[in-house]
Amino acid sequence: MKERTFVALKPDAVRRKLIGKIIERFENKGLEIIAMKMVKLDREMAEKYYEEHKGKEFYERLINFMTSGRIVVMVIEGENAISVVRKMIGKTNPAEAEPGTIRGDFALTTPDNVIHASDSKESAEREIKLFFKEDEIFSE
């Protein structure tokens, strides 16, 4: 089933110049990037983006990290894109991420774990709408 998912390359990925290497993995897999841009989150946008984590012990650290530099946001489309991308990025904790996954190969700690991807159809729709207008998404 063809579906869309949301992916964000976090400030550590941008700082470490990993953008091209990570995008190449998605393209090599046969997924299509149908929208992409670089943004700098302000606190308000970061709080909207991570509202489900408000009140958790790591929330402030996450907000501070995600507003510390530029991020690259994208919409990726393909067969079972949500589950395929989640498998490709690996576990949230890089110490538990398998070698060969994006986090397993490029990340060391959390929240600086290089990448975020939606974990469900609902979160993908919410996150895509947060960052993209419909006319910025180019699905064939």
Q: What's the CA gap between 38 and 133, in Å, rounded?
A: 14
Active site residue 53: no
- Can you read off the two tokens belonging to residue 124? 């993908």
Choosing from 116, 118, 131, 132, the catalytic residue is 116
SS3 state of residue 61: helix
Which of 13-24 are b and which e, b meaning 16 or more Cβ less than 10 Å from the residue's Cβ? bbeeebeeebbe
Helix, strand, coil tally for the chain in percent (to 5): 45, 25, 30
- Residue 18 phi, psi dihedral angles, 5° rounding: -100, 0
Instruction: Cite the active site residues.
Output: 116
